[in-house]
Structure 1
Amino acid sequence: MEFELEHGHSREAIRARLARDPGISYLRDWIYGGIDGVVTTFAVVASVVGADLSSRIVLVLGLANLVADGFAMAAGNYSGTQAERDDYDRLLAVERKHIAIVPDGEREEIRQIFGGKGFAGDNLERIVDVITADESRWAKTMVVEEYGLAPTPRSPALAALSTFAAFIACGLVPLITYLWGGGLIPCVVATGLVFFSIGAIKSRWSLTNWWRSGLGTFGIGMFAAALAFWVGFGLKTLFNLSAG
C-alpha cells in the first residue's frame, strides 16, 4: 500500500520547513462562526414559519440577527483570544522574573521537565545547558512546558475577523434561499447542504471521513433548527389558544 507524505524529508526540505514561522490556525474560528451563523438565521426563518408570520419579519429579524449576532460573536472571540494572549504575556513576564531572581530553581524545573520526558545523564544536562543559555528561549520553554500554553499566540483581530466573515457568509444562505428561493423547502435543503459542507471541509484537518464529519455537523445544525421551528409553532399555538 502506497502512502502520500504531507511533506518532504530530505535534509534541505526539513531545513526549509523548520526555518519558516509555525503556522497559526484559525480553523476553529471559521467553523465556529459558520455553524453559528447558519443556526442563527435558520432559527429565525424556522421560528417565523412555525409561528406563521410574514416574510417581511423574516427579512427584518434575519438581517438584524445576522449583523448583531455576527458582531457579538466576533467581539466575544476577540476578547477571549486577547485574554489568552494577555495570559501568555503575563506568564512570560513571570518566568523572566523567576529566571532573574532564582535561576537555579528555574534550571531545576527545566531539568525535571525534560527528565520526565525520558532524558537522563549527560544528555539531560546538555539539554538543560542549551535551553538555559538563552533567557528568551528559557522563558518561552517554561511557558509552554510548565503552563501548557501554545508557543505562538493567535491574533485577536484575525480570530474575530474569521468568525465574523464565516458567520455572515454562511448565515446569509438560509435568509436568501427562503426569501428568493421559493419558501421553506429550498431553505431547508440549502441550509442542510451548508451544514454538511462545513463538516466535510473540516474533515480535511482531522482523521474522520468527510461524509461522517459532514453528517455529524448536519445532524447538530438541523436539530438546532428543528428546536427553533417547534418553539415558534408552540408559541403560535399557545397564542391561538389564549385568543380563543
Structure 2
Amino acid sequence: MEHQEKHLKSSDFITDIVIGISDGLTVPFALAAGLSSAVSHNSIITTAGVAEIIAGSIAMGLGGYLAGKTEQEHYQSELLREYQEVEHVPEKEKQEIKDIFAEYGFSPESQTLLAEELSRDKDKWVKFMMKYELGLEEPNPNRARNSASTIGASYAIGGLIPLLPYFFTDSPSEGLKYSSIIGLISLFLFGFFKSKVTGQPLLQGAFKVMIIGALAASAAYGVAKLFS
C-alpha cells in the first residue's frame, strides 16, 4: 500500500486567514455588543461597525504588508552577509558545515567530504547555510502583497458576520441576541477549523476560541453599560 504523507501546505496563506478572521470575528463582535448597551438605534451600531471593519482591515493589511517586507529585507540582509563570509572566510564556513552534519551523527570523514562537495557551488553552499545554519527559507517575493490582501479581506469577512443581524433587526437588544448566536457559532467553527489545520484537539480549540470571543464581547458590553 502506497504511503501518503499529510503535511500542511500554503502555511503562510492559512496563517494570514487565521490572523484576519480571528481578529475580525472578535473585535467588531465586542464593539457591537458594547454599543448595544449604550445606544438606542441600530444605525449607530452598523455605522460604527462598518467604520471599524474598514479601519481594521486597512490596519491589519498594512501590518501584514510590513511584516512581509521585513521578512524579505531580513532574508536579503542575511543572504548578503553569508555570501561575504563564504568569500572571505571559507574555512570557517566549511567548519560550520561540518558542525551541522556532526549534530546528525555523521563521521568526521563524511563531514569533510560533504563540506568539500557543498563548497564547490557557492550558490548551493550559501543556500545550505541559510537554511541549516540560520534556519531561514527564501520568502515568496509576493509575500508582503499577498499577506496584506489576505489578512485585510479575512478581517472584513470575519467582522461582517456578527454585524449583519443589526442590519435586519429593529433594536440593539434584538440585534445583540442574534449577533451573539451567530458570532459564537462562527467563533466555534473557526476555532474548529484552526485546530484542524494546526493539529490541535478539535473541540478544545473550538471552545477556547469561542470562550475568548464571548469574554471580549461580555467585557465590552459590561463596560459600556457601566459608563452609559
Q: Same fold (TM over 0.5)?
A: yes
Return the offset for 1:24: 5.0
C-alpha distance in 1 between matches for 2:2 and 2:36: 49
Letter in 2 for 1:30: I
2:76 — aligned with what?
Answer: 89
1:127 aligns with 2:114: yes
Q: Deviations over 1:3-35 (max 9, x none)?
A: 995449xxxxxxxxxxxxx85532121111101
1:35 maps to 22
Contact 1:35 1:221 in 2 (8 A): no
1:63 aligns with 2:55: no
* 2:195 aligned partner: 203
How do residues 72-151 of structure 1 correspond to structure 2 at under 5 angstroms? Answer: 72-149=59-136, 151=137
CA distance in 1, matches of 2:219, 2:146: 32
The partner residue of 1:162 within 132, 139, 150 is 150
CA RMSD, 1 decimal: 2.1
Aligned pair 1:152/2:138, yes or no?
yes
Q: Percent identity?
A: 26
Q: Which residue of 2 aligns with 1:225?
A: 217
Could you tell me how far apart the structure 2 residues matched to 1:62 and 1:23 are? 31
CA contact 2:75–2:138 (8 Å) conserved in 1: no
Structure 1 residue 211 displacement after superposition: 1.8
1:197-236 per-residue CA deviation (whole Å, 9 max, x = no partner) reads 1111122223323222211111112111112111211211
Equivalences, count: 220
Partner of 2:12: helix, strand, or coil? coil
Q: Quick check: 2:20–2:150 contact (8 Å CA) kept in 1? A: yes
Structure 1: gaps spanning 5 or more residues:
9-21, 237-244
Question: Which residue of 2 is the match for residue 241 of structure 1?
Answer: none
TM-score by length of 2: 0.88
Runs of 5+ in structure 2 lacking a partner? none
Change (3 A) 1:191 1:230: same
Q: Which residue identity lines up with residue 165 of structure 1 in the other structure?
A: A
Q: 1:216 to 1:24 in 2, by over 3 A?
A: closer
For 2:212 and 2:57, locate their aligned partners in 1 and report how far apart those are by CA, in whole Å: 20
C-alpha distance in 1 between matches for 2:45 and 2:10: 41
Which residue is 2:33 aligned to?
46
**1:177 matches 2:177:** no
